[in-house]
Structure 1
Amino acid sequence: MIKETVTMSHKELHRLQIIQESINRHITQEQAAARIGISIRQVKRLVQRYRNEGPSGLVSHRRVR
């Protein structure tokens, strides 16, 4: 098994925590959207990316380039 190190900003770490709470059903996607300041649709996209790629899916793609 290969371990991968992911560098995240404080904003991305906060976003990761909120998305995980949403996935674990501690908060709704609507509450997650309000906490992060994005639309519910964007929360759904982030949840999907997290499920497909893990935490690295939440890292800004603009910074990765």
Structure 2
Amino acid sequence: GVPAPVLSAALFERFASRDEDHYANQLLSAMRLQFGGHHELPTGDVLEAGARKSDQAG
């Protein structure tokens, strides 16, 4: 497994990068998409557990 401090640090960095539009944070977001294959939701978009963005009427 991965040590808890590593997971905590990654999670805190993820939360910090959502609040700013700095180039480095945008780069991190792009890397998350590339490695994890998931899109980050814009601020204020919340999905129910198991729901997909495409499932909601826009």
TM-score by length of 2: 0.39
The structure showing larger relative contact order (alpha-carbon pairs under 8 Å, at least 6 residues apart) is 1
TM-score by length of 1: 0.36
Q: Which has the higher helix share?
A: 1
